[in-house]
Amino acid sequence: MELELERLQVFFPASLEIQEELLKAGFKVPYDRESGRKTPIPVVVSSREGRRLRRDRLLKADDFESDGKFAMVPGERPRMEMELTDKGFLILRPKPLDYHLEDTGFVSVPPRIWGTWASFSIPFSFYETLTDFLGEFRNNETKGLYLASRSSGRRIEVYAYKGRTRRDLGVPVFGYALGLHGLALADEYLREKAGESDVPEERLRYLKLGLRKRKETKAGFKVGIAWENGKPSEITLKLSTTDPKVRIQGLYGELMGKSRGELTRTDDWYIVVHAEDFAGALHKVAGTFG
């Protein structure tokens, strides 16, 4: 089954593993004080609605308009395929058919410290389609699932997590892979930055700029619903990792953060969870406000 997403965001700047890989190749990530040259690791964004952002935060896009200060990226085509396996797993395959690359810009908490580093939202109009697809795994008994929420203005987001100690994670994740390989805009961006930083272009072919779950990676998937003005608007899905911790030598000192997995070369994006966990979490959250 394929669903249209409202938006898709993967924050590769949250990965110290990717930062270290680029530093070893000779890139001055994310900022060289001597030259003033910036080489931010890109965030991959695909949004169904047009997106307005500061021009200096837009790293690469196939199509956009700008007045010099702000840029407007037109609506894109984020999708997600969902596949059920014979063993009861649900494989989610995000597909940014159109996308652009952004700089995170200034944030008070560095992305390397964040728990969540990839998020996907589905229009709530697909709720019935999704519950029908997961019908055989739906169970009204949601023992072991708990709820947490966060609010901003008139928007409140409620998500489910499994096990009292997994509030920061969600339901268990059994595998994932996300990366910058196979993305033409990312390739163009890195070639341009290689030229600016005097990095031999042939070195790019050996880089590993993808991430996959290690056995020891503590990962979770937050399945939630966002309400705006009292009405459900989106189904929210967020990938989080919290352990183990990693340390790297940055340009100007040691950096510590949360591991995002093992470096790999992959253009195959996927996240694997138990279908029963996903269906139970969605059912639990949907009953929050009746």
Give the model's confidence band at 288: pLDDT under 50 very low, under 70 low, under 90 confident, else very high.
confident
Domain of 113, in residue numbers: 2-286
Per-residue pLDDT of 78-102, as tens digits, reads 999 999 999 999 999 999 999 999 9
In the predicted structure, residue 36 carries a pLDDT above the cut 90: no
Per-residue pLDDT of 101-114, as tens digits, reads 999 988 889 999 99
- Indicate the pTM of the whole model: 0.96
Arithmetic mean of pLDDT, 237-259: 97
Per-residue pLDDT of 168-226, as tens digits, reads 999 999 999 999 999 999 999 999 999 999 999 999 999 999 999 999 999 999 999 99
Q: How many domains does the chain have?
A: 1
Residue 280, CA atoms < 13 Å, CB-side half-sphere: 20
Arithmetic mean of pLDDT, 148-164: 94
